[in-house]
Amino acid sequence: MVSGAAGSVVHWAVDDFDRALKHFEALGALLYRGPMAIQEGLWMCQVRDPWGNCIGLRGPRSGYKGEEA
């Protein structure tokens, strides 16, 4: 059985949320949680790298206003 991610998650502040997410996915990370609107026009998600570590991304998402996904 595979357990969920455990431990601390580092959240990186990025200038372009969608670009950063695509970059991490190109490196082999899989979307784990999100994306979701948080506050002040920012979005966040967590990706899981090939070794099972979770990394959080948070930043503005171009083309999105408010909290619609």
Please provide residue 25's backbone torsions phi and psi, each rounded to the nearest 5 degrees. Answer: -65, -35
- Cβ proximity of 27 and 15 under 8 Å: no
Q: Looking at the domain assignment, is residue 69 inside a domain?
A: no
Residue 48's pLDDT is what? Answer: 95
Q: Looking at the domain assignment, is residue 68 inside a domain?
A: no
Residue 64's pLDDT is what? Answer: 65
Tell me the per-residue pLDDT of 11-57, one tens digit each, with 9 for 90 and over.
Answer: 999 999 999 999 999 999 999 999 999 998 999 999 999 888 999 99
Q: Looking at the domain assignment, is residue 4 inside a domain?
A: no
* Whether residue 63 has pLDDT greater than 80: no
CATH number at residue 52: 3.10.180.10
In total, how many domains does the chain have? 1
Q: Looking at the domain assignment, is residue 2 inside a domain?
A: no
* Whether residue 68 has pLDDT greater than 80: no
Residue 16's pLDDT is what? Answer: 96
Q: Looking at the domain assignment, is residue 51 inside a domain?
A: yes
- Cβ proximity of 14 and 20 under 8 Å: yes
Residue 5's pLDDT is what? Answer: 66
